[in-house]
A and B are shown apart, each in its own frame.
Chain A
Amino acid sequence: MNSLLRHKGWTWGFRTTILLYFVILIVLPILGVYYNSFSQGFSGFVESISDPIAWKSVLLTLKLAVIATLINVLLGTMIAWVLIRYQFPGKALLNSLVDLPFALPTAVGGLMILLLLGPGSLIGGIAESLGFEIVFHQPAIVIAMVFVTFPFVIRAVQPLLEELDPSEEEAAYTMGASSPRVFREVILPSMAPGMISGGMLAFSRALAEFGAVVLVAGNIPGRTLVSSVFIYGEVESDNPAGAAAVSIILLTLSFLILWLINLAQMRGRRA
């Protein structure tokens, strides 16, 4: 058996299979989308993109993803701080609950938000009588994005806070710095890389989110139709070229973010 497996032909066949699997599964589909959206030339791409429903969905997605990311950076930094610095009952439980939005299917997350805030629910009723509209409007999309990207910033900031040497802080205090100043000049700078890289991950995830958003957004073109839902609609209505055009805008953006994160991490490692 072993001598058979050690035969040169086997080895090469095996290696080629693995690498082919890799390339076919990952690279080919991505190239396919780019190829498809330019298959009718550049003008076809411009035409698909200049459809107001298409570009408005991209702008809306960007806007809502930025809001969700900012909320998450604030909340995530606070929670990471509390979970690392303070001892209190239930800490271990909260720490494991952080990952729940990753583990839950996104459609389940969307359904949970819909049930909690939707028409007929307690909170939805109160908001409605106050004149707010949550579900099927933009706030619901932001909530869905915040829910789905919740763990990113926390998990990026936590290890940095853990590594932070307490003596740095103590030195600052000894030299007479006030606690807001210590926070601003010692703690914040050491958390910043995590806030940025976690925020970027959260942003790219929020751009891509579909499952949670499609259930809570009203999907009204121009107002609550985000790009991923737009793409799904185009596929369903048999217009793959339009879907591919918006897809490559989102893809290019996400690849850019991924590349930036990698770059930042490499620089961080060298420093």
Chain B
Amino acid sequence: MRKLWITLTYLVFFILIAAPLGKMAANAFSGGFAGFREALSRPEALHALMMTGLVVVVVTLLNTLFGIMLALYLVRAHWLSRRLKGFLNSIVDLPYAVSPVIGGLMIVLLLGPDSALGGVFEQIGLKIVYAFPGMVIATLFVTFPLMVREIMPVLQEIGSQQEEAASTLGAYGWTTFWKVTWPSIRWAVAYGVILTVARSLGEFGAVLVVSGNIMNKTQTATTLVYQDVENFNVTAAGGIALVLAAFSAGLLLLMEWSKRRKEVH
């Protein structure tokens, strides 16, 4: 009985995860190493990887900053009523329930060239949808809960006694944060950063809708994979997908490592 269940588990993992991964790697190298390099050194591939990198950096910075602040407010703020805090708290999870395509659609509807807000921005010469800012906003929307949800439980767990003690002893808010709060939340923040990077690296639906997938302009690595498949250039798609998969696997290892650190702290 026991042997049967273990074999079945191995089988599921093999069919669902190992075999597809192996097949994709084999496919990326089906033209030898030269073919793999060629797929990656196409100008559109280099540009797409650069765009992905830019989006990841900007989104991670903004999401970390605002995520920490918002988590602090939702747990600690006395100037928000309990009811309001509960309400805001339940809103945080909404992006989880929204399909990425719908997330992209929302931003097109709100800020697209036909909308009122989009028109205003267009007049001052700022293009949002089908341009970099829109892609950042879409990815921010999708990654929003990750950071907040990592930090909030830690803040609740450590309680506010130490922080209150620090301010009773005369420390300013800023000092209290760096000397007391930060050391206990930093591993949660690190974990949130890894999650945000992984999610923004792989975001596809929202970015596809918002970016318009314009080659050499707004195309990211994932949307290039999509376009390559649509053009029946499966080998090239496999090359880029393999690079993305390697990054994700690396992030997964980091996650495992920081999870252990987070538990020790």
Contacts and interface: CB of A to CB of B under 8 A. Distances in A.
Q: How large is the interface on A (under 10, 10 to 19, 20 to 34, 35 or more residues)?
A: 35 or more
Contacts of A208: 97-102
A115 B20 CA distance: 7
Interface residues of B, number: 81
Interface string A144-162: 0011001000000000000
Nearest to A32: B110
Contacts of B13: 79, 94, 97
A106 interface: yes
A100 B248 contact: yes
Given A86-B5, A262-B90, A106 B204 contact: yes
Given A113-B20, A240-B105, A255-B97, A105 B12 contact: no
Contacts of A109: 20
Contact of A82 (B6, B172, B234): B6
B33 interface: no
A244 B141 CA distance: 18
B24 A111 contact: yes
B109 A78 contact: no
Contacts of A43: none
A161 to B, nearest CB: 13
A244 B109 contact: yes
Contact of B204 (A25, A107, A121, A147): A107
Nearest to B138: A29
Contacts of A104: 202, 244-245, 248
A244 B234 CA distance: 32
B19 A116 contact: yes
A62 interface: no
Contacts of B248: 100, 103-105, 108
Given A97-B17, A115-B234, A251-B97, A231 B204 contact: no
B93 interface: yes
A45 interface: no
Contact of B69 (A18, A231, A258): A18
Contacts of B17: 97, 100-101, 150
B12 A75 contact: yes
Interface stretch (B34-42, B151-159, B184-192, B251-259): B251-259
A30 B94 contact: yes
Given A2-B174, A82-B5, A108 B91 contact: no
B174 A5 contact: yes
Given A112-B21, A116-B19, A240-B105, A103 B238 contact: no
B9 interface: yes
B6 A105 contact: no
A127 interface: no
Nearest to A94: B13
Nearest to A28: B110
A108 B106 contact: no
14 contacts: A25-B137, A26-B144, A29-B103, A30-B94, A88-B6, A94-B10, A104-B202, A104-B245, A111-B238, A150-B17, A210-B101, A211-B204, A231-B105, A254-B98
Given A15-B79, A29-B110, A33-B102, 7 more contacts: A103-B248, A106-B222, A111-B238, A240-B112, A244-B105, A250-B102, A255-B97
Closest 8 CB pairs of A and B: A105-B202, A208-B99, A29-B106, A112-B20, A254-B97, A211-B204, A210-B205, A103-B248
Interface of A: 2, 5-6, 15, 18-19, 21-22, 25-30, 32-33, 36, 75, 78-79, 81-83, 86, 88, 90, 94, 96-97, 99-109, 111-116, 121, 146-147, 150, 204, 207-211, 214-215, 228-229, 231-232, 235, 240, 243-244, 247, 250-251, 254-255, 257-258, 262
